[in-house]
Every structure is written in C-alpha cells, then in structure tokens.
Chain A
C-alpha cells in the first residue's frame, strides 16, 4: 500500500490553493494595504513608538502574570488529601485548572462553589454550604483549602463565618480541616496567592500545636513551577542528612508515575507533618517575593531559625548550602562539593559562547533574580529585565545584584511593565537572547531573538518542568539549555556557510 500523505495545519495552509483562498478572502476584509501594514510595522520598531508605548499607564499588553487564586490552588495541591475549593464563579476554576494542565501535562482537581447572579445579590453562603457538602460527599478530602476569586471578594463573603456555619449545619464532618485565604485577583499576582494560601494553611493547622521540638527543617519552595526542584531539594537535604518537611510538596501531584490509575490526591505533605511544622528547628524558604506574608507570620509566631535564600546559580547555591549548614549544624557533604566542581567545569567549558551575550529577561521576580545571577556568573549581560509583578523592593534587589558585577552594567529593571514594552526595548536596543515563558515566543517571532524557555507557564515545550533549575544540578540544566540554544541558533544561521562546524 502506498503510504498516505496527510497534511495537517502546519503544511496544509501553505499549499497554493489555500494561499489563493486567503488572497480572495482579503476582498471582504476591508483591510489596509500590505504597504500600509509594513509601514506601521516598521514604525512600531522606532524610538518614537517606544516612547509612546512607555507613556501608557492604563492598559497592559501581553503582561507576564496570572492572578492570586491560581497560586492558591497550586499551593493547596501539595498537601495530603486536600481538595482546593474556590469560593467564586465556576469559570475561574476552569481556567486555573486548564492553565496548570497545560504547563504540567497533569490532571488538576479542584472545585468551585459556582456562584452566579443570585449569589451576587444574596451573598455566597448557600453556594459555599452546598458546595462543601457536595464536594465532601464526592471527593472525601481530609482538608478543603478554601480561597476566593473576584465575585466573593467584591461582594465581601465572610469565609470564616461561612465555614463555621457549614460545620454547625453538619454538611461536613467536624474534623474536616478548612483553612482559607482571601485571594482577590485585583491585588498582587499568582505569587501573592501562593503566599496567602500557604499562610492560611500553616496558621490554621498549627494553631495551638506549639509543643515538643521535632528537630526537623521545614522547606517552603514558593511558587516554583519546576517539579524537578522539589525532587532536587529533597535529594540535597538527604545528602546532608537533614530531616525535613516540604510544606506543600507537589512533586507527585504534578508529576505522578503512570500506573494506570487516576488517584485524586497526590499531595505529599501530610496533615500531621504540617501541624507539627511549628515545632521544627528551622525553616528554609527558597523564594522571597512569593512568601513575604508567610515568612512574616512565621517569624512572628514560630520560634525557630529561618533561612530565606534562593539557590539558583553557583554562588546562590553556595550561600544556600552554607546557610543551611549553619542553621542545621549539618556539614555539606563531599558529594555536593563534587557536583559543584562539575558544574563549574561545565560553565568554564561553555563560557566562550555566553560571554558578552546580551539578554532580555521576563518573568516572576524570584526567577529573574536567579536567572540574572547565573548569567552574571557565566559572563552574560542581562540588559532588559521586565517584571510585570515585581515591586519596588524587587527592583532595588535586582539593581543591587546588577551592581555587584561588571557584567550587570548595562542592565535595567522594569517593574509593572509588560512584554509589549519589552518588544519596544528589543527593537530599539537589540539583544542576542531572550529568556521567558512560552508567551514570550511572540517576541522571538517579531524580533527574531532566540527564546530560551524558563519560567511559567511553559506550554509549548514538553517536560521542562521535570528538570530542576535549583542547586548545582539545576545550574547545570540552565547552562546546558542556554549554551545549546545558542549553538542551535549558530547552526541555523550558518547552515549555508563554511561556519557550519561539527565541533563547537
């Protein structure tokens, strides 16, 4: 049998019959001439356009942030037998779930109280009561992690009173845990929501549990969309012989082995461990900006040692490990020291390709701090740093980081700006490489600057989130990804020339 040639969208619409069709269709579109489109396209690349673009303050265009409840849901997924419950309209949950599905390629189960017009008028109490009853009957969680979306926040639903009432009515068992967090989408971003939910769960579960010290170390990852990081931190802690509790461990929730069954709950942090977290000797927090309130609360209420340090890049990891060693009294083992040596060796091997390369970066504040610091270590030059959800503290931290290295001299940080601003920057002050999430690929298309995918969400490449970016192992992954993107690009751009080398 002659094999069938089947053309899908990627080839089909480049066939002449379709190109002719598109041409015919233009007659009905009342569209500008090609010359006019070209003229405007060129204009958008100018400094004049950049200035107009930067003068805008009432509209965001291609911003790099999501909303609070998404982060709250993500946080809730890491706890044992926990059902995320959103007091709000049902469309929100549908969106959060699909957004996470697309990044992790994993199922995400969460419910909403399906608030509609009547709830807008009478309040959402009935929705919550019935929602809790139905959700418990169907999905039998030990804990419902409750958070809010816009409607509940705007009308002012009282989560404390509603959960109490539901319990009194007996629609859920008396021992069902119902921590909650207010997570309005018009405040902060997904990283704020993660923070609020974490604080909500910890303060609720540890209330009155202060007792015998358990000698363990708590770990809080922050809004870290790399499942590989969860496994990596646990590996590092095990190598250091530290007893730990990862608070919200999503490593199975969002990267579960396929065993032919669809287990509803895969959060690895047990309820008991969480309750006992207040009795740990220390807490290490791997992100700063996504844990501000949680850390503030813990520092006030939990009598233990704290380390807030992000281990992305060599020096950050060095400091993280020595800090960890200090607060736990455990030595850094030779195995980790060997890993360090190997990564440094790799960085030295790759440095000629990265040295002096100019980078644009866009993403969450914590990620940006990490990426900039490893670029500086490699001799790369961060130039445009756009952080839609960064605040002034972040900007100051970033400026200090840039100032710490001669390679940071041309770096400028832009908070509350978006990827359309970045587009202007990349046209008027071009760079060699771009670091960002999948949505940043439009910048690649428009400016032809190769995109190195780091951050959240990553929808258009598979499995990247399964590899760590923290620790020495993570540094190796980052370096490998960056240098090989540069080499791929070098091959692509020299394919017709003598520079198409086999050895790089």
Chain B
C-alpha cells in the first residue's frame, strides 16, 4: 500500500469513526482511497447496496430514476405519475431535458400529470380510476404518441394491476404504446433500479415498433443523453458533422418513434452507461446492434471519442472525423488559453449520479484542474472499475456518501470547487466553498460537445473566481 493510499485511508477512518459500529463497518466498504491500477484489493468500492437508514443519504428512488431520467424526457408521451400528488410535483419541470415542441399540444415533457390518489384509491385500488384517466387524457391530448404509467409506492403495495389496464387501453387506443412502469420508490436501493425497469419497459413495449423509411450505413443512435440544457443537441452536431445520421436520441428530446427504431442503427453510442447499458445490451443480443461508450466532456475526451466512433465506419467517416477535430481544435485551444490560467491547479471534489463523477474528469483536467475526490450516488461495480484509472493514486472515492461525510471530507480535502446536487449546493454556499450543480448544470449548459465545453469552462471560472466568496466574514472560531 502506497503512502498516498495509506494517508487517505487514515482520513477515511477518522471520518467514519462517529458511526455506530454496524453502520461504520458498512460505510467503510463504500469509501476508499483510489488505486488506479485496480490491484489493491482493499481499495475496491462496494456499490449498489442499500443505504443505511437515518444517515442522510443523497440518493433518491426508482421512481426518480424512471421519471427523471429515462421516461420523463420522452416528449410526445404523456407521463403519468400514478399515485399520490407528491412525486410528480417534486419531479416537475426540474431536470431540464430540453425538447422542441408545443407543450400540452404535441409534447408533454414539462407537465405534471397525476392520478392524485386519495384514501379511497388506497382502499379500493386505483385501476378503475386509471382506466378512466387514460380516456380523459386521450380526449384532451389527441396528438400524444404514447402514455407512460409511472407507479408510485402505494400502487405496488396495494396490488394494483396496471399492466392489465395498460394492455386493455392500448388495444382500445389502436395499439398506442401504453407503458406500465413498476418504478415504485421502495424498490431497489436508488434511482438505478428505476433506470433498469424503464429500460426493460422500452424493450417490452416500444422497441421495434417505430418506423424508419430507409436505413443507411451511417446510422447511429445517441443513447444515454438526456439533453440537459441541450447536451444531446451539442453532441448530435458533432456526430452529424462526422457524416453520421442520428436516427434516435435516448431519451433527451426523444419521440416515441425514435425509441422504437434505435435497434436499426449500425452502432449505438452510449454516453450515460449507467442508466442505459441495459437496452444497449439487449439490442446487441436481440438485433446484433453493436454499441460503444464515448465521452463528449472536454476536448481531450471528445477528440478521443470522435476517433473511436469513426473507427467503426469507413474511411469517408474517418476523414470527416479528422476534419471535425481540425475545425474545432483552434476554438478549443482558445478557450483553454483563456480559462486555464485562471483555473490551473484548482482542486475539485465531485459527487454526482452514475456517470459524471468519472466522465467530467477530462474536462476539468483540460482546464488544468485536479479531481481530488469523486463519488457516485448510484453507481455499480462496473462504474467504479471505469473510474479507478481516471483518478490519481490516493484520491478519495465515495459510494452513496452521506451529507455528514461530504462535509467532513470537504474540511479535510479542502477542494476549491465542489460539484454535486441541489441538496448539497446551499450547504457549500454557507461554507463558502465554490459550488456548481452537476446534475442540472446549475441552470446553464449545454456541457456536452465543443459548444458545451465553452459553457462549462465559463461556468467553472465564474464560480471559482467570483468575488462574492471574498465578502464572507467568517465567524472567529472559539
């Protein structure tokens, strides 16, 4: 064990010491010093298991994964929050999955549609009500191309048969996809199971049912990009300039039709591996559609990814790929020249969902910044395996960190910038530590692609170098 690893382990032990014994032992498996080689047996992070009660986990639930990530962004589907009022209210219009369309007419992404369970629904069941609700929606929104029924906790507990209702109504509505999604919040350990369940829905209810007039040798599908602040559009721009034809986006700015045709691509390109690897694997097994991971955060990773993607195609694409890189490199160099001197050497701590804790590292490094700690809310083992080599030896890796741990590690690691979510944001503002939301891009974006990197660099600079932090008058510690 190297010294860097030992020192980090010591820090971890100190922080976890406050927990009751059982919880301490559990948490110790989830917080580790990084070993980039992956050979240190004791440095493997345990992942995707239940959070301990009462610790203030940052995690959400399966519903959040299904609604907020996979199904919510599908724009021409009516997504029903099936159950009591809260879940739909709190997840309403908040993920910034941009889409083109007239909301309420041909698209429904930023609407909150719910069966609003009352006590009688709990007692007598909600199926009858759901059946009638679907009729009402069909009448009021004739241009909807699908309906998603996203179950909240009570639905699974009272034994409703939403599958039967969905089947019946789909028949009545001339085969319109009506997707019963069993994403009750008590299922699984985090948002992650919701992604998986929603991926299975795609397989069972939508995939293979779309129309695509003709296929070309250059067809790709953009998978695992939720178009936050327009991310997918910035990514699509690069792919199209490479000569590829993007036949489907999963699921940012997606239409139901696109969800139904992705298997016809020559290659599936997956950005958020965590939330959509399931459907890629399925398309590979069932239709022989190959898939590859890529990273469009920051020029280094973008160039690398462009070449990797091009390698699956003929020379015409490879040439265009080089032309794209040559076209954008001067602009990227200019951005780096402008911002790097202002950000060089700054230490960053990340705590995000299932992809960005590793995928944004390159973008920070392009700006001369160093990731000293990174963690995931809902990653699995395969995500950590992909993370170790991206980080320095002895860097801190956290799985399902608690608010207590995040604050304690911040005091010890002393980052210049923290990137996490809305629940963490204002604690860091109070601590006087520069902070950016890395789920919603803090209402900015896009961050993907060449256009996105410029915004990313601007935003990190704006926050780290804001004069407002210097106005804080710290209380003298006693």
Contact = CB atoms under 8 A, between A and B. Distances in A.
Interface of A: 1, 4, 6-9, 12-13, 17-18, 21-22, 24-25, 27-32, 36-37, 40-41, 44, 49, 52-53, 55-63, 65-67, 69-70, 85, 88-92, 94-99, 101-102, 105-117, 119-120, 127-128, 130-139, 149-151, 154-155, 184-187, 189, 256, 258-263, 420, 423, 439, 442, 445-446
A59 B53 contact: no
Top 5 A-B residue pairs of the complex, sorted by shortest distance between their CB atoms: A91-B61, A67-B86, A131-B54, A131-B53, A95-B90
Contact of B53 (A102, A110, A128, A445): A128
Contacts of A128: 53
Interface in B52-69: 52-64
Given A9-B445, A58-B133, A261-B474, A120 B422 contact: no
A28 B257 contact: yes
B272 interface: no
B137 A59 contact: yes
Contacts of B185: 89-92, 150-151
Contact of B122 (A4, A12, A53, A154): A154
B327 interface: no
A89 B298 CA distance: 37
B4 interface: no
Contacts of A102: 94, 422
A102 B212 CA distance: 41
* Residue among A9, A49, A62 having the largest count of chain B Cβ atoms under 10 Å: A9
Given A135-B55, A138-B19, 13 more contacts: A9-B444, A12-B234, A21-B233, A28-B257, A53-B140, A65-B89, A70-B86, A89-B186, A94-B59, A101-B425, A114-B53, A134-B20, A150-B153
Interface string B202-242: 00000000111100000000000000011001101100100
Contacts of B35: none
B431 interface: yes
B64 A101 contact: no
Given A28-B247, A41-B105, A62 B52 contact: no
Contacts of B22: 130
Contacts of A89: 61, 153, 185-186
A415 B15 CA distance: 51
Contacts of B57: 90, 112, 114
Interface in B92-120: 92-94, 98, 100-106, 110-119
Contacts of A96: 90
B53 A95 contact: no
Contacts of B62: 91
Contact of A107 (B116, B253, B427): B427
Contacts of B132: 57-58
Question: Interface extent on B, as a size class?
Answer: 35 or more
A40 B106 contact: yes
B118 to A, nearest CB: 6
Given A58-B132, A186-B118, A6 B237 contact: no
Given A28-B258, A94-B58, A134-B53, A40 B105 contact: yes
B327 to A, nearest CB: 12
Contact of A98 (B83, B143, B211, B422): B422
B9 interface: no
Contact of B430 (A107, A135, A149): A107
Contact of A40 (B86, B92, B143): B143
Contact of B143 (A32, A56, A91): A32
A30 B257 contact: yes
Contacts of A258: 429-430, 432, 472
A240 B462 CA distance: 46
Interface in B364-423: 402-404, 407, 421-423
A63 B116 CA distance: 9
B53 A106 contact: no
9 contacts: A6-B454, A9-B446, A21-B240, A90-B51, A91-B61, A94-B59, A114-B53, A149-B86, A442-B110
B233 A60 contact: no
Contact of A67 (B89, B191, B457): B89
Contacts of A138: 18-19, 54-56, 402, 404
A31 B255 contact: yes
Given A99-B90, A154-B157, A109 B84 contact: no
A132 B130 CA distance: 37
A52 to B, nearest CB: 6
Nearest to A8: B455
Contact of B54 (A21, A61, A70, A134): A134
A4 B331 CA distance: 10
Contacts of A9: 98, 229-230, 444-446, 455
B257 A59 contact: no
Interface hub of B94, B423, B431 (most chain A Cβ within 10 A): B423
A291 to B, nearest CB: 20
Interface string B142-174: 110100000011101110000000000000000
A85 to B, nearest CB: 7
B14 interface: no
